[in-house]
Amino acid sequence: MFIMSGKSESEMEKRAMEGSDKLQGVLQARLKDILGNPSIITGMSHEMRTQMNAIVAFSYLINNSNITEEERAEFTEHIINSCEQLVVLFDNFFDSAIIDSGNSANEIKRCNLNQLISKLMGNFRGAAAKENKDNIELIHDECTASPSDLFIDDDKASRVLRALFLNALESTSAGYIRLGYVIKDGNALFHMLDSGNGYESARDHFQLGEERKNYSINSFHLRKAIMFDLAIKLVNIMGGEIGVERNGVAGTGIRFSVPVKEAVRSGGAVNTGKVSTSEESRNIRQRIVI
C-alpha cells in the first residue's frame, strides 16, 4: 500500500493548487507587462514572425520535386533551427516566470564539474558548427586542482553556461571563446570569456538591474535579454553572484560564483564539506568593469 508521508492527499492537492494559482498570477502579470510595453510587443512579434516565416518558406521549398537531396537536407536544417529558436525563446520566458512565482528551488547533486564542462563543450562545438563558426577556437580551462566530486545544482549551472555561451557565440565571429572554473573558499568561480564585440550590450543589460523588464528593443535583442534575465535569476537561486567585465578591446567576460560542497570520503562514507561565501565572491555581485 502506498502511504503518503507527512501530509494528507487533500493537503498536497491544496498546496499544488496554491502553487498553480501563484504561477498563473505571475504569468498574468508578465503578460500585462508585455501588453503595456510596446518595445516588448514589437520584439516578440518580430522574433516570432522571423522564425515562423522561415519555417513556412522552407516547408514550401521542401515540397518542390526539383530540389536535390542535399538542398532538402539544408532546408530541413533551417526549419529545425527556427523551431529550436522558438522553443528556446518560450522556454526561457516561462522558466523566468516560474522562478518569479517561487516554484523553483536549488537541487543539489553530486557532480564532476570537469566532466560536466567537457560534455557541454561537445554540445557547444556542434552549435558553433551549425552557425558556420568553425573558425572560433573553443577553449576549456580545465581545473586540475578541483576535487573530483562536488555538490552543486548541475542542471541550473549547465543552463547558465549554455546561455552565456550562446551570447558569446552570437557576438563572436572569429577568435576564441573560453570556459572554465576554479574552486576557492567553498565556491566554484566560473568564467565565460570571448574575443567578440558584445561587451557594451552585455554591460548595458547588467547595469539596468531591476529595470531590465523595461528595456527598449532598440537597445537589446529580445531573445538575448530574456536569456540574460534567466541566467541572472538561476545564479541567484543557487546562492551565487554574477557580473560582467570587458575582455580585451570589445570582448565580453562574464563570471559567476556558486557555493559548492566538496564530497569528502571518510571511512568509506561520503560527507559534505561546509559552504562558505568568500569576500571575493560577494564582490562579484553585479560587478561592472568599464
CATH of the domain at 204: 3.30.565.10
- Is the model's pLDDT at 6 over the cut of 80? no
* pLDDT higher than 80, residue 191: yes
Which stretches of the chain are assigned E, i.e. beta strand? 109-111, 137-141, 150-152, 176-184, 187-194, 241-247, 251-259, 261-266, 269-272, 288-289
Whether residue 3 is contained in a domain is answered as no
Distance set, CA 282 to CA 204, 231, 258 (Å): 21, 18, 10
Q: Is the same domain home to 80 and 120? A: no
> Which carries the bigger pLDDT value, residue 260 or residue 281?
260
**Ranges of H-type helices in 131-256:** 154-171, 199-208, 222-237
pLDDT at 29: 58
One domain for residues 85 and 117:
no
Is 64 within a domain? yes
Three-state DSSP at 258 gives: strand
Helices and strands counted in the chain (H then E): 8, 10
Average pLDDT over residues 198-223: 62
Q: Residue 94: what pLDDT?
A: 73
Asked if the structure places residue 2 within a domain, the reply is no
In a domain, 184, yes or no: yes
- Tell me the C-alpha distance between 131 and 129, whole Å: 5
Based on the fold, state whether residues 50 and 122 are members of the same structural domain. no
Residues 203 and 76 in one domain: no
What DSSP state is assigned to residue 211? G
Query: 277 or 259: whose pLDDT is higher?
Result: 259
Are residues 201 and 83 both part of a single domain? no
Does 1 map to a domain? no
**Half-sphere exposure in the Cβ direction for 240 (13 Å, CA):** 25
**pLDDT confidence of residue 41:** 58
In which band, very low, low, confident or very high, does the pLDDT at 249 lie, cut at 50, 70 and 90? confident
Q: Does residue 180 sit within a domain? A: yes
Please check whether residue 188 lies inside any domain of the structure.
yes
Instruction: Give the residue-averaged pLDDT of 229-242.
Output: 90
Number of domains the chain is built from: 2
Q: Are residues 268 and 131 in the same domain?
A: yes
Under the banding of pLDDT at 50, 70 and 90, the label for residue 247 is very high
Q: Which of 73, 100, 127 is the last residue of a domain?
A: 100
Q: What is the DSSP letter of 67?
A: S
* Least confident residue range of 8-17, 47-56, 108-117, 187-196: 8-17
What pLDDT does 137 receive? 95
> Would the pLDDT of 131 be above 70?
yes
Residue 48 and residue 135 in one domain: no
| pTM (global) more than 0.85 | no
Is 161 domain-assigned?
yes
Q: Which of 60, 83, 100 is the last residue in one of the domains?
A: 100
- 74 lies in which domain range? 9-100
> Residues 257, 194: one domain?
yes
Distance (Å, whole) CA 204 – CA 192: 18
pLDDT over 70 (residue 153): yes
Q: Which of 48, 79, 100 marks a domain boundary?
A: 100
CA neighbor of 147 nearest in space, from 287, 261, 277: 261
Residue 42 sits in the same domain as residue 14 = yes
pLDDT of residue 178: 95
Claim to verify: residue 176 and residue 56 sit in the same structural domain: no
69 and 132 housed in the same domain: no
263 or 152, which is more confident? Answer: 152
Mean pLDDT (the chain, rounded): 75
Give yes or no: residues 59 and 113 share one domain.
no
Q: For residue 119, is pLDDT > 50?
A: yes
Name the range with the highest mean pLDDT among 55-64, 196-205, 234-243: 234-243
